[in-house]
Amino acid sequence: MHENFIIHLVNVDNDGNSLHKVNTKFKEDLLKIFGGFTQVDAHGCWMGDDGKVYSDSVQRIIISAAPDKLSLQGKLALCTMYAKDAKQKCVYAVIDSEVYFVEPMQVYTGLAYLTEPKPIQLTQ
């Protein structure tokens, strides 16, 4: 059985700067993890809290992989890494038919997102 993982990569940041280098690096990481993906050029729109309509050209990255390739937490970590590198407030992703708006995390180190998170032991 294969599970789907879809993430939308924006082509420019909120200031209009190209994200070509960020997107290329992210797609290289995806190739290392999953071995391949399908890219579809698309266009997305959304309405901000101020009522203004925003519009972006995006790359819809579609991955179909065995569930053991990367856990849900690992896929979400990839999304947070991309959101941080692309300086986005959030990234739209679909993981196993569930929609996620993933915000950037503050700190990550290299390819650490490839490993499962370890439970934290609390002591009193």
| pLDDT score recorded for residue 1 | 56
- Does the residue 121 lie in any domain? no
Q: Would you say 8 and 91 are in contact if contact means Cβ atoms under 8 Å apart? A: yes
The model's pTM is 0.78
**Domain annotation covers residue 48:** yes
The pLDDT of residue 71: 84
Number of structural domains in the chain: 1
Could you tell me the mean pLDDT of each successive run of 10 residues in the chain, 124 residues long? 86 91 96 94 89 92 86 89 92 91 66 44 48
- Give the domain range for residue 51: 3-114
Say whether 55 sits in a helix, a strand or coil: strand
Is residue 119 one of the residues assigned to a domain?
no
Tell me how far apart the alpha carbons of residues 35 and 52 are, in angstroms, rounded to a whole number. 39
